Amino acid sequence: MAEKEKRILVGMSGGIDSSSVCIMLQEQGYEVVGVTMRTWDIPSHFSVPGQEQPDDVLEAQALAARLGIEHHVADVRKEFKDVIVRYFIDEYMRGRTPNPCVMCNPLFKERILCEWADRTGCAWIATGHYCRLEDINGNRYIVTGDDPAKDQSYFLWKLPQEILKRMLFPLGGMTKAEVRQYLASKGFEAKAKGGESMEICFIDKDYREFLKEHCPDIDERIGPGWFVDSKGLKLGQHKGFAYYTVGQRKGLEIALGKPMYVLKINPNKNTVMLGDAEQLKTEYMLVEDVNAVDMDELLSCRNLSVRIRYRSRPIPCRIARVDDSHLLVKFLGEASAITPGQSAVFYENNRVLGGGFIAFQQGVKKLAEICQFSM
C-alpha cells in the first residue's frame, strides 16, 4: 500500500469496540490514527471531581499511548448541541419521536471523521459499528452484522456513497462475545469486561426531564391538552403532546379500566389519541425523505422487508412511489405502533437498500386506494 493508503482514521470512544478495531487494524499493517469526539458532558462521564476531560477521552488517550498511535481530541460540543440536540428537541416539539443516532452518523460523526481523515492524511475511516459492506455494480451497500443482537445497520441508512466508500467496519463479521474475547487475548482483560454505552449518549435520565431542562418554556409553549379516543371523545387531560410517543402504554397517568396505548399525536390541536393494542396495528405506512442507494432497485425489489424501529424484526412489504421524496409501504405481515420521526429501513435479505423517516399518517388510506404497489 502507498503511504497514505496505509493510514486509517479510527473513531475512538475508549470502549470495547473501537479499542478492538485499533488493535485489529494495527495487526493488519495499517498506520492507525485515532480521534475522539467530545460531544456532550454529563456528570456520569466524569469519575473524579475536578476531572478536566470525560472518561471516554481519557480511556482513548490511554489506549493510544499503549498502542503507540497518533491520537486527537475533537471538541465539537457546540456543533453537537446546535445540530443533534436541537434536532432532538425540535422533533418532540413537532409531535414526532426523533432518531438521534440516525441523524448523528451522516450529519455529524462521519462528517467530522472525514474532515479529520483529510486533515491527518488518512485514506480510510473505521468505526466499531456491527455491520458489513458489500460492493455491487459500483455501489457500496451496508449489510447486517453477523451478531443479530448487535447489528447496527438500521442506524446508517443515511450515509452517502462518498463516505461509505472510505469506510471499514472491522467488527461486522464478529459477535460481541468474540470481540470481548479478542480484546482480552491482547492483554486488555479489564476493558474486555466493560459495560455497554448508553443508547442515547447525551441523556442520562428520562427524555422528558431533558426537554424541560433544555427548553424551559416548554410547558408555556405547549401546556396541557386532551387525551381523546379514535372518535374524538375527550378522555381526560394530559401534560402536553411532547411528553408522549406513539405506542406508549406506561406513564400515561390516566385510568380507563383497561390498558391503553398512544395511537396518534396531533401537535396542532395538542391532542393525544388513545386506544387498545389492536388499534395500533396497520396495513400501510407513509415514509418521507427517502434515501436509496439505487431508487429503481428499491422500487423493483421483489424480496423487500422493512424495519420500523431498532431491534424490531423486518416485516415483508411492498412499496409504491408517491412523489420524489415519499413512499407508501404496504405491510405483508403484522405491523404496529407506526411512530412518526422514527426510521423505516428497507432490506433485501440482509442488505440495506435505503430508508426514510416515518411521516405523519394522515391520508394514508386514500393514498392506498390510488397507489400502484410493486408486485
The C-alpha atoms of residue 200 and residue 283 are separated, in whole angstroms, by 30
- The CA radius of gyration of the chain, in Å to the nearest whole number, is 22
Q: What count of other Cβ atoms lies within 10 Å of the Cβ of residue 272?
A: 29
128 annotated among ligand-binding-site residues:
yes
The C-alpha atoms of residue 368 and residue 363 are separated, in whole angstroms, by 9
SS3 167: strand
The C-alpha atoms of residue 6 and residue 10 are separated, in whole angstroms, by 13
285 annotated among ligand-binding-site residues:
no
The C-alpha atoms of residue 177 and residue 189 are separated, in whole angstroms, by 13
Residue 295 contacts by C-beta under 8 Å, 6 or more apart in sequence? 354
Classify residue 359 by its DSSP letter: P
11 annotated among ligand-binding-site residues:
yes
List phi, psi (to 5°) of 163: -85, -45
18 annotated among ligand-binding-site residues:
yes
Q: Is 95 exposed, middle or buried (0-12, 13-18, 19+ CB in 10 A)?
A: buried
Partners of residue 344 on adjacent β-strands: 356
104 among known catalytic residues = yes
What is the maximum span of the chain, computed from C-alpha positions, in angstroms?
A: 70
260: its cell numbers: 391503553
Looking up cell 479478542, which residue turns up? 182
Catalytic residue from among 104, 131, 301, 317: 104
15 annotated among ligand-binding-site residues:
yes
CA atoms within 13 A on the CB side of 351: 16
22 among known catalytic residues = no
Catalytic residue from among 101, 131, 201, 301: 201
Looking up cell 471516554, which residue turns up? 56
The C-alpha atoms of residue 372 and residue 321 are separated, in whole angstroms, by 8
257 annotated among ligand-binding-site residues:
no
Residue 293 contacts by C-beta under 8 Å, 6 or more apart in sequence? 139, 140, 141, 161, 352, 353, 354
Which residues does the annotation mark as catalytic?
A: 104, 201
For the annotated binding site for ATP, the residues are 11-18, 37, 128
For the annotated binding site, the residues are 11-18, 37, 128
